[in-house]
Structure 1
């Protein structure tokens, strides 16, 4: 393999080929083993990464901050409301300057039809790798951690039945970036992927076309259903998670008539009972408990949410290790 990782942007896993993703998984596993054994991994000594957040974060911020510290470097947390961005400074100027100050830039910007464009503009003008901490379209940090978790649990992922299922939630109008990333990534590993949602919560047409192509090219399948029970039936992995109706309705209103008409789309013991007997429940977190999922499921024996969340640390470290080079 002749991939060059140093300086490579991490905006979507669609920009990384299978060999590169497999290397990322291998490095993640190696870092996880060393972390468990207390073996230091100072692969990025005295390097600085700037962590720009337009929005709140728990797992992403802390996995990046802890991760860079464990790699021997330093993370500068930047609340963009306290930066000159708040006064209108453009992505180009921010990227040029921050890339002269350090060794990596990571950014979360989930504003609909803004976030990915902002990250792309930064990447165009940065001289260091730009990493996507979630935008309006993609969440590659979550996607690679999900893939690592599934691989750890089952080994061979070919023909694994994985269902990405919309679920009812009222906490905020959530981005489509998590299900979109999973829909594109999982078929690349030969999984049989079902995307289930009520009408009105579609993903973009180009995503569906690409997901089907990824499945065709890699020996998996990809299908859509508007029937929740169909998605749960015999599934090996279920990922019931809310996402907003951004594609059909760009309004930022959290609760509307469409949302309220689908309160029944909840992960319950009854739904889990029609899945495979060893089904695994996953969620990127935070979960809207008692709306998206009942406590007995998310806290039950089929739930692997905390393993999934832990892997956010190891995969974040792998992304930084591979892409950040010395000056």
Structure 2
């Protein structure tokens, strides 16, 4: 069903396939907590992980997931590869395909992943690009499933930089699972690509829309935020902070959302900026569950797509 497939956005997968990945992740997590950590489905196979950007959760969770599946893990940045000396992405993809069974990369430009996938003969996984963060959205969905007891019919508000990669992937997975995704942020950062979700939304009953009003937080199952200045946008920091200051998630915002609302963040968090300490450390925060679930969802993806 999944063998040999790339995971670049999750738009490549049908709604039922996304559910199947989440069910697999849930099973891996149950066995993990029962003491069955090592499940050598891909014993002796090799995963190459390339990181153009710094990483904590993605690097460690994906490496650990591959190891737990019995795989050899090679982690490198472009400067440790000939990519850093001018070798082309196609040549790198062709070469690594002869050594590895799966290539995963965290990149500045999504086009780099698309080029890797075009020329590689093995699956290519998106570990984060400027446009999408699909493995994060799988962990988010697993977390909400655990906390809310259901996968469909959820209402999730993403607050702040609604144009970023995490918001994009939340909208994608929400359209696959029949959620109402409210993208709450300043109009200057609104997306112009939501029409691509229409087909899935038509199948699942999902609704994804943008608003600049915090009043739209009322009644949601979760309030999600992310850093105001993502990697690669440092030159815009001052302007972004000015635009987004009214969208800080604090106690008043969580009160507006209601007592049923969980707090979510993909981490790392800039405390005092997009979220206050009392919220991220509060009883409704599920950020550490999200972080753990990066391991189990990465394990499901690697188990499913590795040939």
* TM-score bucket (shorter structure): over 0.9
Match of 2:210 in 1: 224
Q: Give the 3 Å change call, closer, same or farther, for CA 251–295 of structure 1 in structure 2.
A: closer
Alignment of 1:314 onto 2:299: no
Q: Give the 3 Å change call, closer, same or farther, for CA 31–119 of structure 1 in structure 2.
A: same
Q: Give the 3 Å change call, closer, same or farther, for CA 56–251 of structure 1 in structure 2.
A: closer
Which residue, out of 19, 28, 31, partners 2:16? Answer: 19
Residues 34, 41 of structure 1: 8 Å contact kept: no
Aligned mates of 2:269, 2:84 — CA distance in 1: 30
**1:22-76 CA-partner distances (Å, limit 9, x unpaired):** 2211111111111111123111111110000001000000001111111111210
Which residue, out of 50, 69, 74, partners 1:71? Answer: 69
TM-score (norm 1): 0.88
Report the secondary structure of 1:158's partner residue: coil
Residues 184, 216 of structure 2: 8 Å contact kept: yes
Deviation at 1:251, TM superposition (A): 6.6
Aligned mates of 1:302, 1:221 — CA distance in 2: 25
Match of 1:6 in 2: 3
Q: Give the 3 Å change call, closer, same or farther, for CA 47–251 of structure 1 in structure 2.
A: closer
Match of 1:170 in 2: none
Instruction: Compare the two structures and name the one with the higher helix fraction.
Output: 2
Residues 65, 74 of structure 1: 8 Å contact kept: no
Report the secondary structure of 1:290's partner residue: coil
Aligned mates of 1:79, 1:116 — CA distance in 2: 16
Deviation at 1:99, TM superposition (A): 1.0
Gaps of 5+ in 2: none
Match of 1:189 in 2: 177
Gaps of 5+ in 1: 168-173
Q: Which moved more, 1:191-200 or 1:297-306?
A: 191-200
Match of 1:171 in 2: none
Deviation at 1:243, TM superposition (A): 4.8
Match of 1:154 in 2: 148
Match of 2:79 in 1: 81
Which residue, out of 218, 221, 230, partners 1:233? Answer: 218
Task: Give the count of matched residue pairs.
Answer: 306
Match of 1:104 in 2: 102
Report the secondary structure of 1:256's partner residue: helix
Aligned mates of 1:260, 1:321 — CA distance in 2: 43
Matches within 5 A, 1:285-296: 285-296=267-278
Aligned mates of 1:95, 1:132 — CA distance in 2: 14
Aligned mates of 1:218, 1:83 — CA distance in 2: 43
Aligned mates of 1:85, 1:148 — CA distance in 2: 35
Match of 2:111 in 1: 117
Aligned mates of 1:284, 1:244 — CA distance in 2: 14
Aligned mates of 1:26, 1:251 — CA distance in 2: 35
Which residue, out of 120, 129, 149, partners 1:135? Answer: 129
Match of 2:201 in 1: 215
Deviation at 1:284, TM superposition (A): 0.4
Q: Give the 3 Å change call, closer, same or farther, for CA 155–17 of structure 1 in structure 2.
A: same
TM-score (norm 2): 0.94
Aligned mates of 2:243, 2:34 — CA distance in 1: 50
